[in-house]
Amino acid sequence: MRRWRSRSKQKLVCRVYHAGWHAGPGECVAQELRPPGSLSEAGGEYKKRWIRGRSLDAGSEPDQDPGNPTVTFRGERRSNQTHVSTTDPDAKLANKGNGTAAMVGYTVNGLMENRHRLLLGINVESFRGPASEMYGGRALLDRFHATHALRIQTVGADKGYFAKPFLSALVRRRISPHIAAKTTGREAIHQRVRRLSRTVGYRLSQRARKKIEELWGEAKCWHGFRRFHRRGLLQVRDEAFLMGWLLNLKRLATLPPVPV
């Protein structure tokens, strides 16, 4: 039943997108959680985490306030292999980069066309490191091609996607990879992207890439996207679909009417 509700909310996003894309196919900009990307905090309580195989309060004295226990993590190393949340087991410890604080959250994947800033797709995954970005981006592209009679021609993204598996996946799908290039990487696919960086289309794609960051910023500031209120992966996906639906409706309100 929960999976059916998630698919229904996902269809809402697609229907609003269909209503908005009346000017013909445009370029698509794919973006995910990269600094300052879309790492949304989970609704589970951070204190209520227990060590795998051992209760958090094992061997300690009874707490005076069971609803808000006194927990100290000083000197203790925490990771997803050693700790798990008791209020939201699907949420994982994640951070936006080296040297930043870790939080219990989810990876949010988004696919947006850059002409009207309409979301083509949105999805939420449990954090798995860089694999969440690569898998989530490919899944959104495949889902779009399976549900729409349109083909994506170019994809723009940040340096986090400048990896051989993702670039090769774009080429196999006959999509031009307008990915921000790094100086590292000596494979043929890396050289191909560097050659594309000299073209006008590539520069325009990179210029338009920040539009989805503005979309995420709007969602976090005004629509509760910074911290999910529901718990559990399926419920969090429902919340993300409704937010994506709302963002698309706001874009539709500003589009000119279709000429008759």
Amino acid at 1: M
Write out the two tokens for 241. Answer: 């679909």
Class of domain 2-43+105-254: alpha beta
pLDDT recorded at residue 5: 53
How does DSSP classify residue 161?
Answer: G
Distance CA 210, CA 213 (A): 5
pLDDT recorded at residue 35: 26
The answer on pLDDT for 67 being more than 50 is yes
Distance CA 126, CA 90 (A): 6
The secondary structure of 74-112 as a DSSP string is TT----TTTEEESS-TT-EEE-SSTTSPPEEEEEEEEEE
The secondary structure of 173-211 as a DSSP string is TT-EEEEPP-S---SHHHHHHHHHTTSHHHHHHHHHTTH
Lowest mean pLDDT among 14-23, 92-101, 145-154: 14-23
Mean pLDDT of the 78-98 span: 78
Cβ distance 241 to 13 under 8 Å?
yes
Cβ distance 33 to 96 under 8 Å?
yes
H or E segment to which residue 214 belongs: helix 211-222
What residues form DSSP beta bridges with 125?
Answer: 107
Lowest mean pLDDT among 23-27, 60-64, 211-215: 23-27
Cβ distance 198 to 20 under 8 Å?
no
pLDDT recorded at residue 188: 92
How does DSSP classify residue 160?
Answer: G
The answer on pLDDT for 38 being more than 80 is no
Mean pLDDT of the 86-93 span: 83
Output the CA angle 128-245-3, nearest 5 degrees. 55
What are the sequence ranges of the domains in the chain? Answer: 2-43+105-254
Q: How many helices (H) and strands (E) does the chain have?
A: 7, 9
pLDDT recorded at residue 152: 85
Q: How far is CA 36 from CA 10, 51, 129, 212, in A?
A: 25, 30, 16, 11
For CA atoms 230, 6, 28, 23, give the dihedral sign: negative
pLDDT recorded at residue 64: 65
Burial of 111 (0-12, 13-18, 19+ CB in 10 A): buried
